[in-house]
Amino acid sequence: MNISSSSYRLVAGLLAIVFGSAGVGVCRGAPPRLKVSPDHRFLVTEKGQPFFYLGDTAWELFHRLNEEESRKYLTNRAEKGFTVIQAVVLAELDGLRTPNANGDIPLKENDPTRPVEAYFQHVDRVVDQAAELGLYIGMLPTWGDKWISNQGGDGPVIFNVKNARAYGEFLGKRYRNSPIIWILGGDRSLKKDEHLAIIRAMAEGLQAGDGGNHLMTFHPRGGENSANLFHQDKWLDFNMVQSGHGQLNTPNYKFALNNRALTPVKPTLDGEPRYEDHPVNWRPDQGWFDEWDVRQAAYWSMLAGACGHTYGDHNIWQMWQPGRRPISSARTAWQTALDHPGAFQMGHLRRLFESRPWQLLEPDQELIVGDAGSGAYHVRAARASDGSFAFVYTPMGKPVTIDLAHLTEHALTAHWFDPRLGKASSISTISRAEQQTFTPPSQGRGNDWILVLDEQSRQFSAPGSSPLLK
């Protein structure tokens, strides 16, 4: 039952014909402001509606795509159920000297206090396109190679404390009323006090410019965690980790569990896990991450207490196409990569969570009787704080024995949710015993399943059947 990429696209296409864009639709009109929930565990709209952060990494969006291409990309992501697009203003791939698709560079003489209006008008238009589709831009003011040297990237280093604050204030004022989430950092480790000071100065400038209208976080280097540097900073509204693109089965759930235990309490998410179609450990001879790796990272993190998740495709972040130098063995044109299976399946993830009051979920490994397994077999479980439902993720289809005493009612309904196709199949209505073993429909790599247990009296809809919240 390990579905190939070509077979998946065929099935997904047929489903789209029957149900219409996987039942998602496109939200028209600017989305509402966001804030942290009262319990500080997840994000909500200004009206208090839970917000599922489903990000996509499109780092080179402003730099490499023209307006027509941007609309194609953004429409595709909105239709698939993404909510946040992570993109960089001063881009990584020679973003200061190589012009954007319109022939404009961002700064005069690489001076952060002298922005080129034509370049930022293009950024404005892309932000507006996203807003029309109901998408937030997770905006990185700059990639990290512009404020730190000797860690790779094209640079040059142009930021100091003074001009970082000025540049932050410029961006804050410009996008004060736009649907933005500020993401500082840019994939670099902070080794000196000067680097910390630059980030804090830019954050101060952004807040001065936008009046505190937007949430703010920090995108760290691979294997690192914003909480290790800035957790006590008041400007950091939620934590972001980058579990990265190194080894198979990286246990990214450990980041979420670590951050969940910190005080003050702040939401957390994996802002850059293993990318689909990325060579494992940057070495094609070691294989390529596929849609199963993408799903594994997403469900592991979400069931460890994350407030959302970011998907990435190796070809899309760099907007690679034939004729461009591929970074780290990129091999698929971005236009084709838009419909890689993992991108569809992130919409299934969001739809599953939004079919239940997912903001009540808390990690609960005590649901699992016996060893939860390690490596690719590691099983993760989460239970609603009121005991009304639980999710258990078994990445290799390993049977799981559950202690049903953790759920509050005697009558329970059980489903298997297929994260490949977003479909649920009923197991049975069961009477709560002390323990019960559940065996997924298939086993092995690529055959991951989510066990959904519900209190019967709640009469929840079938897992994953609810339309996505707009």
Domain membership of residue 469 (yes or no) is no
Q: Is residue 246 situated within a structural domain? A: yes
Residues of the chain where predicted confidence (pLDDT) is lower than 50: 1-25, 27
Assess if residue 115 is contained within a domain: yes
What's residue 408's pLDDT? 72
259 and 129 together in one domain = yes
78 domain residue, yes or no = yes
- Select from 308, 335, 354 the last residue of a domain: 354
Q: Report the distance separating Cα 418 and Cα 425, nearest Å.
A: 8
One domain for residues 149 and 216: yes
Does 159 map to a domain?
yes
pLDDT at 154: 81
- CATH number of the domain within which 218 lies: 3.20.20.80
Q: Where in the sequence is the domain holding 42, given as residue range(s)?
A: 18-354
Contact 92, 59 (CB under 8 A): yes
Verify that 347 and 370 share a domain, yes or no. Answer: no
Residue 70 lies in a domain: yes
The whole-number pLDDT of residue 159 equals 98
What is the CATH number for 385?
2.60.40.1180
Question: Could you tell me if 330 and 450 lie in one domain?
Answer: no
3-class SS of residue 89: strand
Decide if 205 is inside a domain: yes
238/289 same-domain check: yes
Kindly state the helix (H) or strand (E) to which residue 401 belongs, with its residue range.
strand 400-403
Mind listing the pLDDT tens digit for each residue in 88-118? 999 999 999 999 999 999 999 999 999 999 9
Q: Are 311 and 201 found together in one domain? A: yes
* 70 shares its domain with 195: yes
Give this prediction's pTM.
0.93
Say what the pLDDT of residue 469 is: 61
**DSSP summary character for residue 274:** P
Query: Under 8 Å CB-to-CB from 301, ≥6 apart: which residues?
Result: 243, 252, 253, 255, 256, 269, 270, 273, 309
Whether residues 283 and 398 fall in one domain: no
Beta bridge partners of 382: 363, 391
Domain boundary among 354, 380, 404: 354
DSSP letter at 32 equals: P
What percent of the chain clears pLDDT 70, i.e. is strictly above it?
Answer: 93
Structural domain count of the chain: 2
What pLDDT is stored for residue 7 in this prediction? 42
Do 88 and 103 share a structural domain?
yes
58, 121: one domain: yes
Residue pointed to by tokens 């909510």: 83
At 74, phi and psi to the nearest 5? -65, -40
Pair 368, 402: CB distance under 8 Å: yes
How high is the pLDDT of residue 9? 40
Q: Which of 334, 354, 374 is the last residue of a domain?
A: 354
Position 20 scores a pLDDT of 34
Hunting for tokens 């864009």 — which residue is that?
21
Distance, first Cα to last Cα, the chain: 33
Strand partners, 182: 139, 216
Residue 6 counted as domain residue: no
Same domain for 347 and 425, yes or no, is no
**pLDDT tens per residue across span 436-465:** 999 999 999 999 999 999 999 999 999 999
> What pLDDT sits at residue 434?
77
Does 364 lie in the same domain as 334? no
